[in-house]
Amino acid sequence: MKNTSQTSPRRLAEACEALVAASWFSLASFVVVIVNAMALGLETYGRLVAVAGASLRAVEYACLACFVLELLVRFGAHLDAPFGFFRDRWNVFDLVIVAAPLLPGVRENVTVLRLLRLARIARAFRLFPSLRVILVGIRRSLPGLGSFLLVTALLLYGYAILGWILFGTAYPERYGTVGQAMLTLFLLLSLDGITDTLQAGREVTDWAVLYYVSYMVAACYLLTNLLVGLVLTALQEAHQDERAAAERTARPDPPDEQPEPSVREQLARLHAMLDDLERRLPEVRADQLDRPPSARGRVTSRRRSSKRRSVKSAAGR
């Protein structure tokens, strides 16, 4: 009886784990996310809400029930070790998104409820590895993105000072202050209206051509390509990490295999071997001295003959 009570939770955990690992499970969860997003978008049409408001609320409750059921299945997969469920950040995120609307301060706030429903769309990232790779790549690019934003800000500030000197008097609404000049240059990053801006600048000074052309090359082309390269590198690293993790999961290391020793352990072994050789060296020398001269002569003659044979073979080659 005790055996049966112990194996039943394990069987339930194995069944839930097999259900979570099934491909159709992730697809069904993604369909529910899309239906929830569509229902949220349809609620922005006032006439449709007046006609089918009850149906949209029913769809919302059905999606919420599916989300709760999915969480229960995922928790059941960790029934043997319940704390393993909370080690996965996606599980914690799903739990917060589903349980937050039930809290007494959030339930009455319509804006917060809609934001939480909108946040459920982010659950699609956990369902497909390709979407997770994009999210991890964006997170990896954040440190480099900070340096990129700093370089962009310095470049905009420098060109804003030059623009204030060149066009501050003629166009005070665009270059009257450094802040207005930086905003104007930031809007020009998309090259929208650059032709009209260049023509207007040429009416003020001939240096406008050099000013705007150098700005387009430095900001619009070089910085844009730098940003694209930064994001692509981060995505490639995230893809490699995801593939390595999948390979480790598919081919787990055998339990009998010993881990590779560290560099310190290898150096310690080499030192021990050298100390052992130093201890044995006097014994070898004493053994050679204890031999009779005839034996030492035979050993010496053998060494000489072997050297002669090696020299002759090398000369023959």
Q: What is the mean pLDDT of residues 48-68?
A: 86
pTM attached to this predicted model: 0.52
Q: What are the pLDDT digits (tens) for 1-54?
A: 445 555 677 788 888 888 888 878 888 888 888 888 888 888 888 888 888 888
In a domain, 1, yes or no: no
What tokens does 215 get? Answer: 């700005």
Asked whether residue 289 is assigned to any structural domain, the reply reads no
82 within some domain: yes
- For 197, the token pair is 């801006």
From 250, 277, 305, give the residue that closes a domain: 250
Domain that holds residue 239: 140-250
Please give the share of the chain, as a percent, with pLDDT higher than 70.
77
The rounded distance, in Å, linking the Cα atoms of 172 and 89 is 51
- Mean pLDDT, residues 162-171: 89
The model's confidence at residue 311, banded by pLDDT at 50, 70 and 90, is very low
264 assigned to some structural domain: no
Domain boundary pick from 220, 250, 280: 250
Calpha distance 54→22 (Å, rounded): 34
Number of domains in the chain: 2
For position 1, what pLDDT does the model report? Answer: 46
Q: Are 243 and 203 members of one domain?
A: yes
pLDDT value at position 256? 47
pLDDT at residue 81, as a whole number = 78
pLDDT digits (tens, 9 = 90+) for 177-228: 888 999 999 888 888 888 888 888 888 888 889 999 999 898 888 888 888 8
DSSP state of 102: G
Q: Domain boundary residue among 217, 250, 283?
A: 250
Q: Indicate whether 111 and 184 sit together in one domain.
A: no
CA dihedral sign of residues 111, 116, 117, 121: positive
Which tops the pLDDT comparison, 61 or 255?
61
